[in-house]
């Protein structure tokens, strides 16, 4: 999927037929193994200590990898390990 760039707001460029330039997708994006393309929303309640641990783990992984690791990514990983047994 390509991201569209900002349109050229110059009226003369519009008259001359200059179109919107498209940006190519950034390289080196984080790819999480076995992550399905569609995600479903689940509302769950966690104990406050687990919530804190989850936030801390997401922050630590993000800091270590240099890329954002969400709490959902960690929950996905944990459930896949647990349910694959």
- Tokens describing residue 51: 């919530």
Residue 82 lies in a domain: yes
Is the model's pLDDT at 25 over the cut of 90? Answer: no
Among the listed residues 64, 81, 67, the one whose alpha carbon sits nearest the alpha carbon of residue 31: 67
Q: Rounded to whole angstroms, how far apart are CA atoms 73 and 85?
A: 19
Q: Check pLDDT > 50 for residue 70.
A: yes
Tokens standing for residue 8: 């050229």
pLDDT at residue 18, rounded to an integer: 59
**For the whole model, what pTM was predicted?**
0.54
Please give the Cα distance from 67 to 20 (Å, whole number): 30
Pick from 74, 76, 65: which is nearest to 30 by CA?
A: 65
Average pLDDT of the chain?
80
How many domains in the chain?
1
Tell me, yes or no, whether 48 lies in a domain: yes
pLDDT at 49 over 50: yes
What percentage of residues in the chain have a pLDDT greater than 90?
Answer: 51
Give the pLDDT of residue 15.
72
Q: 76 in a domain, yes or no? A: yes
């Amino acid at each position: 999927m390509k991201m569209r760039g900002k349109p050229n707001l110059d009226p003369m460029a519009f008259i001359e037929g200059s179109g919107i330039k498209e940006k190519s997708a950034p390289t080196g994006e984080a790819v999480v193994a076995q992550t399905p393309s569609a995600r479903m929303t689940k509302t769950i309640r966690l104990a406050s200590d687990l919530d804190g641990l989850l936030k801390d783990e997401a922050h630590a992984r993000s800091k270590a990898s240099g890329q954002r690791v969400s709490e959902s990514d960690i929950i996905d990983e944990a459930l896949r390990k647990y349910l694959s047994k």
